[in-house]
Amino acid sequence: MRYRRTGFVVGFLAAPVLLYVIYVIAPYAQAFYIALTNWRGVNASPEFIGLENFRRLFEDSVFWKAVWHNLLLLILMPVLTLGIALFFAFLLNVGGKSGVTGIWGSKFYRVVFFFPQVLAVAIVAVLFQQVFRPDRSGMLNAPLIAAGLEPIGFLSNPDVAFWSVLGVLVWQAVGFYVVLFSAGMASVPKDMFEAAAIDGAGRLALFFRVTLPLLWDTIQVGWVYLGIAALDVFAVVWVMTAEHGGPDSSTTVMAAEIYRNAFQYFRFGYASAMGVVLFFFTVGFAALSLRLSRRERIEF
C-alpha cells in the first residue's frame, strides 16, 4: 500500500517538477554560464572570459550605487511598511474604545487600504509621476506654488528622488499587509485581549505584549517577502524616474542596471553577472532573515 501511495505522489509531482526544472532551474544555470562570457546577443557567439565580468563589477561606480540603493530599500522598506501596516491593522481590529474591538468602519478602511494592490505597478508609477510634477499640475507642488514657495523637485533633485521612490513603494505595499495582519489578528481569540485589558494592559501593552508575539510568524513571512520585493523594484524605478534611475543614478537599482546593460548596451554577459550577484543577495537575505527572526512558536 505504501509503494502504491509513493508511486501515486511521484506521478503527480513528476510533471510540475519537470516544468520547474525546465523553466526555472535551467535559465538560472544558463545565467551562471553566460556571466562567464562576453556574450553580446542572440546572433553573437559567446567567448568564455572567466571571472572578468565580476572583476569589472567591482570597478563600476554606477553598479555600486545601485547596490547601495537596494541595501537601503532592503532595510527601510520592510521596517516602514510593516510598522505602518501593523499600526493600522491594530487600530482596525483591537484599537477601539473598548481596547478589544476595532474602530468604527474598519471593513470599509480595509478596502481603502487594499486598493493600491489592485493597480498595476506601471500605473502606480505613472500616477505618481503626475503627483510629483514640479509645476501647478503636480498635486504636491501646486499648494507650494500657490503659496509663493519654491516647488520641490521630487524626481529631479538627486537628494530627494530616492526618498520619493521609497515613499511610493511603501504606499503601494502597506495595504496588502494591513489586510494580512488584520486576518491574523481576527484569528486570535478575543479572550486573550479581554484578559489582558482586565489585567490593566493599555493599548501599548496590548500591542507589544499580546499582538506582536502572536503575529510573529506572519511578520516574519512579510519581512522576507518585502525584502525580496526591495531587491526587485525595477518597474517603479524604470517607469517613474528620470533617465530610468536618475537623475545622476540617484534612484537606480540592480534590476534597472541589469536591464540597461542587457537590452540597451547589449552586454548580456555583464548583465548576467549582475543577475548572479542579485540572486545571491536575494537567497542570502531570505536565509539570514529566517535565521535571525526564528522564535518559539506560540500556540493559541
Is there a domain that residue 145 lies in? Answer: yes
CA 206 to chain centre: 28
- What does the alpha-carbon distance between residue 19 and residue 102 come to, in Å, rounded to a whole number? 45
- What does the alpha-carbon distance between residue 64 and residue 77 come to, in Å, rounded to a whole number? 19
Is there a domain that residue 276 lies in? Answer: yes
Beta strand extents in the chain (DSSP E only):
none
Grid cell, residue 19, equals 516544468
Residue with cell 545565467: 31
Is there a domain that residue 45 lies in? Answer: no
pLDDT single digits (tens) 189-242: 666 666 666 666 666 667 767 777 778 888 888 888 888 888 888 889 999 988
Is there a domain that residue 114 lies in? Answer: yes
- The domain of 142 spans 60-292
Indicate the DSSP class of residue 37. Answer: B
pLDDT single digits (tens) 240-297: 988 888 888 889 999 999 999 988 888 888 999 998 988 888 888 878 877 776 655 5
Q: Does residue 98 surpass a pLDDT of 80?
A: no
Q: How confident is the model at residue 8 (pLDDT cuts 50, 70, 90)?
A: low
CB 82, CB 219: distance < 8 Å = yes
- What does the alpha-carbon distance between residue 214 and residue 300 come to, in Å, rounded to a whole number? 8
Is there a domain that residue 51 lies in? Answer: no
Grid cell, residue 142, equals 501646486
Number of domains in the chain: 1
Is there a domain that residue 142 lies in? Answer: yes
Model's pTM, two decimal places? 0.83
In this structure, the dihedral spanned by the alpha carbons of residues 123, 124, 127 and 131, taken in order and rounded to 10 degrees, is -170
- Indicate left, alpha or beta for 99 from its phi (over 0: left) and psi (-120 to 50: alpha): left
- Say how many CA atoms lie within 13 Å of 299 toward its Cβ: 0
Provide the 3-class DSSP secondary structure of residue 48.
strand
Is there a domain that residue 107 lies in? Answer: yes
**Cis status of the peptide bond prior to 213, with omega within 30 of 0:** no
CATH (domain of 80): 1.10.3720.10
